[in-house]
Chains A and B, each alone.
Chain A
């Protein structure tokens, strides 16, 4: 499989703090890649660099064979990169359904009529259909996290970036979420998923990347990575 995403020597600093440090990796089309690492390791920053919400200081980001390093977020979305935000970023005064409409119409460049049914279907899949007509600003945290996933799905991405969407879920909810993500993956969508809930993550991803202080300290088969000494050291005290 050719790489749908490839980062070459990408760096990003905030002042003196280097948050992304010469990061290089490829993601083959159709793969599900998990990203783990301690708090502040630079995981979300990496997402922001891939989506264009932040611009890289150095290095090159290629998506679908094109250099997108300087391309603004809107264009990256149109070319198929969808994302969720770790801290939900709802459109407070739009309803849940309208949120999906914006996403589907603009993310795909389609008229409203054509996407309405699909938006309803996504709301059913993400169990938000019951609150479809509620303003997004009135949702509970769990619902907001679901809305992050639903909104990203509505752009019909080829590459879906998920940032900690399982945190705070009950066991049952977590299982349902894993099922949903598996199903999206089965449709051929490439997924990169940042998650602290490791058992949920490892039950979906085929490959795992470990980030620490902005550096990749391991990438490969999830079982091997989890067994490695470096990762054990970092996660010492954190249940695996």
Chain B
């Protein structure tokens, strides 16, 4: 009889090694400021924040089928809330990060009501329009510098939670201490994001999200609540994107509507990272951000050529390897770093053959 002669597992050999490697890397990353140069810390900050944005866009587009090109709305709105909070109400910027996330979440509600009425390309355009409207509105906000932007007040910068402790512990100037603090915050955000996405995908809802990614009609026909899933994904992505945006501009120290709501920086690059790495997987954006950073470092001096090369590469990957670089790697090797797949195995362990083999 079938009952209880099978068990379900998600672990794979590779995933256990990956978990070990990840733990070592995490410890090294936490300790990085003790030995790394300031420019390396800044590079790492860039990689981590772009990775966070990419994970959220991947959640939206790769799983939820919500191809938004308006995520800069949440980056910019979140960042402006942090600046506004610090300038107007003296909110500590570290606490301001949470404020930014909540503000982005609040903005996401009417955005979703509007954009969810649209489908496909119209949805994408709709999200972009929302971002533009928010940008234009924020540019009218005189207290935060209107159209030209503003800097974070000196007090907020130098007296931010943790900065003084880092100054004395590392014996560095406050600007460098700020870099270290924002780097750690970015690290925490990235770990929380990837951990959160991973946890979610292992739940029953995560399975539904993967089903929706693959076939919406079929998913609805087996009882998946596609509307609710869309809402969950959109709101979560807005929250995380808002925090990441605020963190980026906290590190920067300066903000303007054009930089905060830049569709190139916060959407085009992010899409590139996800597409080139592999959409619809957790590993994809990680691979993608490394490639993106390498290209940016190599091609930084080539101005608009750089953008064109990125664009051409992105298109080539979409055409020839829709699964991205990670798709190629995992197809060739069967490698999976994040064990999400539920595997059915015989409890007696007698043979994996019956369950595993039988190729057509």
Instruction: Give the interface residue-count category, chain A.
Output: 35 or more
CA distance A91 to B226 in the complex (A): 15
Residues on B with C-beta less than 8 A from A53 are 217, 220-221
Given A89-B215, A130-B355, answer yes or no on A120-B2 (Cβ-Cβ < 8 Å).
Answer: yes
The 8 A CB mask of B217-231 against A (1 = contact, 0 = none) is 111111111100000
A92 CB-CB contact with B under 8 Å: yes
Given A101-B207, A121-B2, A133-B344, answer yes or no on A91-B223 (Cβ-Cβ < 8 Å).
Answer: no
CA distance A101 to B210 in the complex (A): 12
CA distance A53 to B215 in the complex (A): 13
- Among residues of A, the one whose C-beta sits closest to the C-beta of B209 is A102
Asked if residues A73 and B221 are in contact (CB atoms below 8 Å), the reply is yes
Asked if residues B210 and A91 are in contact (CB atoms below 8 Å), the reply is yes
Asked if residues A102 and B2 are in contact (CB atoms below 8 Å), the reply is no
B154 CB-CB contact with A under 8 Å: no
CA distance A94 to B201 in the complex (A): 12
Asked if residues A72 and B2 are in contact (CB atoms below 8 Å), the reply is no
CA distance A132 to B356 in the complex (A): 7
Residues on A with C-beta less than 8 A from B342 are 95, 97-98, 101, 112
B343 CB-CB contact with A under 8 Å: yes
Residues on B with C-beta less than 8 A from A98 are 207, 210, 341-342
Interface residues of B in 141-196 (CB under 8 A from A): none
Interface-forming stretch among B3-11, B118-126, B127-135, B248-256?
B3-11
Asked if residues B222 and A130 are in contact (CB atoms below 8 Å), the reply is no
CA distance A82 to B223 in the complex (A): 9
A234 CB-CB contact with B under 8 Å: no
Interface-forming stretch among A24-32, A103-111, A171-179, A209-217?
A103-111
Residues on B with C-beta less than 8 A from A116 are 6, 8, 344
A90 CB-CB contact with B under 8 Å: yes
Residues on B with C-beta less than 8 A from A132 are 344, 355
Residues on A with C-beta less than 8 A from B60 are none
B348 CB-CB contact with A under 8 Å: no
Main DSSP-derived SS at the B contact region: mixed
- Among residues of B, the one whose C-beta sits closest to the C-beta of A140 is B360
Asked if residues A91 and B358 are in contact (CB atoms below 8 Å), the reply is no
Interface residues of B in 58-115 (CB under 8 A from A): none
Asked if residues B355 and A94 are in contact (CB atoms below 8 Å), the reply is no
Main DSSP-derived SS at the A contact region: helix
Residues on B with C-beta less than 8 A from A85 are 217-218, 221
Asked if residues A106 and B223 are in contact (CB atoms below 8 Å), the reply is yes
A117 CB-CB contact with B under 8 Å: yes
B117 CB-CB contact with A under 8 Å: no
B280 CB-CB contact with A under 8 Å: yes
Interface residues of B in 329-355 (CB under 8 A from A): 341-344, 354-355
B247 CB-CB contact with A under 8 Å: no
Query: How far in angstroms is the closest Cβ of chain A from B212?
Result: 9
CA distance A130 to B354 in the complex (A): 5
CA distance A139 to B6 in the complex (A): 22
CA distance A73 to B5 in the complex (A): 34
B211 CB-CB contact with A under 8 Å: yes
Among the listed A103, A111, A139, which residue makes an inter-chain contact with B223, where contact means beta carbons less than 8 Å apart? A103
CA distance A99 to B221 in the complex (A): 12
Residues on A with C-beta less than 8 A from B222 are 77, 82, 102-103, 106-107, 151-152, 154-155
Which of B204, B208, B225 gathers most chain A CB within 10 Å? B204
- Among residues of A, the one whose C-beta sits closest to the C-beta of B341 is A95
The 8 A CB mask of A111-145 against B (1 = contact, 0 = none) is 11000110111011000011111001101100100
The 8 A CB mask of B1-35 against A (1 = contact, 0 = none) is 01111101000000000000000000000000000
Residues on A with C-beta less than 8 A from B3 are 117, 120-121
Interface residues of A in 45-97 (CB under 8 A from B): 51, 53, 72-74, 77-78, 82-83, 85, 89-95, 97
Given A90-B214, A90-B215, A120-B2, answer yes or no on A109-B223 (Cβ-Cβ < 8 Å).
Answer: yes
CA distance A120 to B355 in the complex (A): 11
Which of B3, B221, B354 gathers most chain A CB within 10 Å? B221
Residues on A with C-beta less than 8 A from B224 are 74, 102, 106
- Other than A74-B220, A94-B211, give 19 A-B pairs with Cβ distance below 8 A: A53-B221, A77-B220, A77-B221, A78-B223, A91-B219, A97-B344, A98-B207, A103-B222, A106-B208, A112-B8, A112-B204, A120-B5, A129-B344, A129-B354, A129-B355, A131-B358, A143-B360, A151-B222, A154-B222
Can you list 28 residue pairs at the A/B interface with Cβ under 8 Å?
A51-B221, A53-B220, A53-B221, A77-B222, A89-B215, A91-B210, A91-B214, A92-B215, A93-B213, A93-B214, A94-B214, A95-B342, A102-B211, A106-B224, A112-B207, A116-B8, A116-B344, A119-B344, A120-B3, A120-B5, A120-B6, A120-B344, A121-B2, A130-B357, A130-B358, A133-B356, A137-B214, A140-B360
Q: B residues bordering A, Cβ < 8 Å?
A: 2-6, 8, 204, 207-208, 210-211, 213-215, 217-226, 280, 341-344, 354-358, 360
- 3 closest A-B pairs (Cβ-Cβ)? A107-B223, A130-B358, A91-B214
